[in-house]
Protein backbone atom coordinates (compact mmCIF):
# COMPACT_ATOMS: atom_id res chain seq x y z
CA UNK A 1 0.00 0.00 0.00
CA UNK A 2 2.77 2.44 0.88
CA UNK A 3 4.58 1.82 -2.41
CA UNK A 4 1.43 2.54 -4.43
CA UNK A 5 0.81 5.69 -2.43
CA UNK A 6 4.38 6.90 -2.89
CA UNK A 7 4.04 6.64 -6.68
CA UNK A 8 1.70 9.62 -6.69
CA UNK A 9 4.40 12.02 -5.58
CA UNK A 10 7.15 10.75 -7.86
CA UNK A 11 9.86 12.36 -5.73
CA UNK A 12 12.01 9.26 -5.41
CA UNK A 13 15.10 10.99 -4.00
CA UNK A 14 13.12 12.41 -1.11
CA UNK A 15 11.37 9.08 -0.52
CA UNK A 16 14.70 7.22 -0.39
CA UNK A 17 16.01 9.78 2.11
CA UNK A 18 12.92 9.38 4.27
CA UNK A 19 13.25 5.60 4.18
CA UNK A 20 16.81 5.94 5.52
CA UNK A 21 15.37 7.85 8.48
CA UNK A 22 12.92 5.09 9.40
CA UNK A 23 13.11 2.02 11.64
CA UNK A 24 12.33 -1.35 10.05
CA UNK A 25 11.69 -4.13 12.58
CA UNK A 26 10.41 -7.62 12.01
CA UNK A 27 6.64 -7.31 12.31
CA UNK A 28 5.07 -9.23 15.18
CA UNK A 29 1.61 -9.35 16.66
CA UNK A 30 1.07 -9.02 20.40
CA UNK A 31 -1.70 -8.59 22.93
CA UNK A 32 -3.13 -5.13 23.47
CA UNK A 33 -3.49 -3.62 26.92
CA UNK A 34 -7.00 -2.14 26.93
CA UNK A 35 -9.51 -1.80 29.74
CA UNK A 36 -12.87 -2.67 28.11
CA UNK A 37 -14.72 -0.69 30.78
CA UNK A 38 -13.33 2.53 29.24
CA UNK A 39 -15.24 1.95 26.01
CA UNK A 40 -18.87 3.02 25.75
CA UNK A 41 -21.26 0.58 24.09
CA UNK A 42 -22.23 2.91 21.25
CA UNK A 43 -18.61 3.42 20.18
CA UNK A 44 -17.25 1.03 17.50
CA UNK A 45 -14.69 -1.56 18.67
CA UNK A 46 -11.12 -0.38 19.07
CA UNK A 47 -9.03 -0.60 15.93
CA UNK A 48 -10.01 -0.10 12.29
CA UNK A 49 -13.70 -0.35 11.43
CA UNK A 50 -13.85 -1.79 7.92
CA UNK A 51 -17.01 -1.45 5.83
CA UNK A 52 -17.92 -1.62 2.15
CA UNK A 53 -17.02 1.95 1.21
CA UNK A 54 -13.56 2.26 2.77
CA UNK A 55 -10.09 0.81 2.22
CA UNK A 56 -6.41 1.39 3.01
CA UNK A 57 -5.18 0.00 -0.31
CA UNK A 58 -4.48 3.01 -2.53
CA UNK A 59 -4.48 6.75 -3.05
CA UNK A 60 -7.95 8.18 -3.49
CA UNK A 61 -9.60 5.52 -1.33
CA UNK A 62 -11.71 6.60 1.63
CA UNK A 63 -9.82 5.57 4.77
CA UNK A 64 -11.70 3.38 7.22
CA UNK A 65 -12.61 4.70 10.65
CA UNK A 66 -9.99 4.38 13.38
CA UNK A 67 -11.14 4.12 16.99
CA UNK A 68 -8.48 4.24 19.72
CA UNK A 69 -7.88 5.59 23.22
CA UNK A 70 -5.86 8.79 23.50
CA UNK A 71 -3.42 10.03 26.14
CA UNK A 72 -6.35 11.11 28.33
CA UNK A 73 -7.98 7.64 28.12
CA UNK A 74 -10.73 9.13 25.97
CA UNK A 75 -12.06 7.55 22.79
CA UNK A 76 -10.76 9.18 19.59
CA UNK A 77 -12.38 8.49 16.22
CA UNK A 78 -10.98 9.35 12.80
CA UNK A 79 -14.47 9.92 11.41
CA UNK A 80 -15.10 12.63 14.02
CA UNK A 81 -12.36 14.80 12.47
CA UNK A 82 -14.74 16.31 9.94
CA UNK A 83 -13.48 18.79 7.34
CA UNK A 84 -9.90 18.58 8.61
CA UNK A 85 -6.71 17.32 7.02
CA UNK A 86 -5.51 14.38 9.13
CA UNK A 87 -1.90 13.25 9.36
CA UNK A 88 -1.58 9.74 10.79
CA UNK A 89 1.87 9.17 12.30
CA UNK A 90 2.52 5.47 12.99
CA UNK A 91 5.36 5.42 15.53
CA UNK A 92 6.95 3.34 18.29
CA UNK A 93 8.65 4.28 21.56
CA UNK A 94 11.80 2.33 20.69
CA UNK A 95 12.39 4.09 17.35
CA UNK A 96 14.87 7.04 17.52
CA UNK A 97 13.54 8.79 14.36
CA UNK A 98 10.02 8.49 15.80
CA UNK A 99 11.18 10.09 19.04
CA UNK A 100 12.84 12.95 17.17
CA UNK A 101 9.75 13.56 15.03
CA UNK A 102 7.52 13.48 18.10
CA UNK A 103 8.94 16.78 19.33
CA UNK A 104 7.51 18.49 16.23
CA UNK A 105 3.98 17.08 16.55
CA UNK A 106 2.30 19.77 18.66
CA UNK A 107 3.92 22.73 16.89
CA UNK A 108 3.02 21.20 13.52
CA UNK A 109 -0.64 20.89 14.46
CA UNK A 110 -0.70 24.38 16.01
CA UNK A 111 0.77 25.95 12.88
CA UNK A 112 -2.39 25.23 10.86
CA UNK A 113 -4.91 26.83 13.25
CA UNK A 114 -7.33 23.94 13.64
CA UNK A 115 -7.33 22.89 9.99
CA UNK A 116 -4.99 19.94 10.56
CA UNK A 117 -4.98 17.09 13.08
CA UNK A 118 -1.65 15.31 13.63
CA UNK A 119 -2.49 11.99 15.28
CA UNK A 120 0.34 9.82 16.61
CA UNK A 121 -0.61 6.14 16.67
CA UNK A 122 1.86 4.53 19.05
CA UNK A 123 2.14 0.93 17.86
CA UNK A 124 4.87 -0.51 20.13
CA UNK A 125 6.26 0.47 23.49
CA UNK A 126 9.99 0.28 24.14
CA UNK A 127 10.35 -3.22 22.69
CA UNK A 128 9.60 -4.18 19.08
CA UNK A 129 6.43 -6.22 18.78
CA UNK A 130 5.16 -5.40 22.28
CA UNK A 131 2.01 -3.25 22.06
CA UNK A 132 2.00 0.25 23.48
CA UNK A 133 0.33 0.57 26.87
CA UNK A 134 -1.65 3.49 28.24
CA UNK A 135 1.46 4.42 30.25
CA UNK A 136 3.56 4.48 27.07
CA UNK A 137 1.03 6.81 25.46
CA UNK A 138 0.92 9.16 28.45
CA UNK A 139 4.72 9.24 28.66
CA UNK A 140 4.96 9.99 24.93
CA UNK A 141 2.63 12.97 25.26
CA UNK A 142 4.48 14.28 28.35
CA UNK A 143 7.98 13.74 26.95
CA UNK A 144 7.18 15.45 23.64
CA UNK A 145 5.16 18.30 25.18
CA UNK A 146 1.99 17.27 23.34
CA UNK A 147 -1.09 18.96 24.76
CA UNK A 148 -3.91 18.82 22.20
CA UNK A 149 -2.61 16.63 19.36
CA UNK A 150 -3.94 13.09 19.90
CA UNK A 151 -1.52 10.36 20.95
CA UNK A 152 -3.28 7.04 20.45
CA UNK A 153 -2.75 3.59 21.93
CA UNK A 154 -2.42 1.20 19.00
CA UNK A 155 -0.94 -2.21 18.27
CA UNK A 156 0.19 -4.19 15.24
CA UNK A 157 -2.70 -6.56 15.74
CA UNK A 158 -5.29 -3.79 15.47
CA UNK A 159 -3.69 -1.54 12.87
CA UNK A 160 -1.65 -3.66 10.46
CA UNK A 161 -2.58 -5.88 7.52
CA UNK A 162 -0.01 -7.05 4.98
CA UNK A 163 -2.63 -6.69 2.22
CA UNK A 164 -3.63 -3.16 3.27
CA UNK A 165 -7.31 -4.16 3.30
CA UNK A 166 -8.30 -4.47 6.95
CA UNK A 167 -5.42 -2.28 8.11
CA UNK A 168 -2.25 -0.59 6.89
CA UNK A 169 0.66 -2.41 5.22
CA UNK A 170 3.47 -0.73 7.14
CA UNK A 171 7.01 -2.03 7.42
CA UNK A 172 8.95 0.92 8.86
CA UNK A 173 8.60 3.62 11.50
CA UNK A 174 7.65 6.35 11.49
CA UNK A 175 5.16 6.07 8.62
CA UNK A 176 2.92 9.00 7.71
CA UNK A 177 -0.44 8.70 5.97
CA UNK A 178 -2.15 11.92 4.84
CA UNK A 179 -5.94 12.19 4.53
CA UNK A 180 -7.69 15.11 2.85
CA UNK A 181 -10.75 16.91 4.21
CA UNK A 182 -13.00 14.18 2.78
CA UNK A 183 -11.07 11.41 4.50
CA UNK A 184 -9.48 10.24 1.24
CA UNK A 185 -5.90 8.93 1.23
CA UNK A 186 -3.64 11.52 -0.40
CA UNK A 187 -0.12 10.20 0.21
CA UNK A 188 2.00 7.97 2.43
CA UNK A 189 5.72 7.68 3.21
CA UNK A 190 8.12 6.26 5.77
CA UNK A 191 10.68 8.42 7.56
CA UNK A 192 10.43 12.03 8.72
CA UNK A 193 11.33 15.35 7.15
CA UNK A 194 9.63 18.43 8.61
CA UNK A 195 9.92 20.27 5.30
CA UNK A 196 8.38 17.38 3.35
CA UNK A 197 5.55 16.91 5.86
CA UNK A 198 4.64 20.60 5.70
CA UNK A 199 4.88 20.62 1.91
CA UNK A 200 2.45 17.71 1.71
CA UNK A 201 -0.01 19.29 4.14
CA UNK A 202 0.03 22.55 2.21
CA UNK A 203 -0.62 20.70 -1.05
CA UNK A 204 -3.76 19.20 0.48
CA UNK A 205 -4.95 22.47 2.01
Q: Is the dihedral of CA 65, 66, 72, 73 positive or negative?
A: positive
- Give all domains of the chain, ordered by start, each with its CATH number: 2-204 (3.40.30.10)
Q: What is the pLDDT of residue 29?
A: 41
Q: Are strands 116-124 and 151-153 parallel, antiparallel or unpaired?
A: parallel
DSSP string, 130-182: SBPPHHHHHHHHHHTT-SSS-EEE--HHHHB-TTSSSSB---SBSEEEEE-TT
**Residue 157 clears pLDDT 60, i.e. is over it:** yes
Average pLDDT over residues 173-185: 97
| pTM (whole model) above 0.75 | yes
Q: What is the pLDDT of residue 1?
A: 55
Q: In sequence order, which residues have a C-beta less than 8 Å from that of residue 164 and are 6 or more positions away?
A: 1, 55, 56, 57
What confidence tens digit (pLDDT) does each residue in 31-45 have? Answer: 455 555 554 446 778
User: Which band of pLDDT confidence, cut at 50, 70 and 90, is reported for residue 114?
Assistant: very high
Average pLDDT over residues 138-150: 98
Q: What is the pLDDT of residue 162?
A: 86
Amino acid sequence: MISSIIQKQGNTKMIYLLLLLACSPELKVGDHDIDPELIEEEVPPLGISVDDDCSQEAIGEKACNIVLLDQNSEVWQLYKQEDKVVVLDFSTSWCPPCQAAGYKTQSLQDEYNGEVVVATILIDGYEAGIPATSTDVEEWADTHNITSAPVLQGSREMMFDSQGINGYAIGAFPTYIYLDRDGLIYLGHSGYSEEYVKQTIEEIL
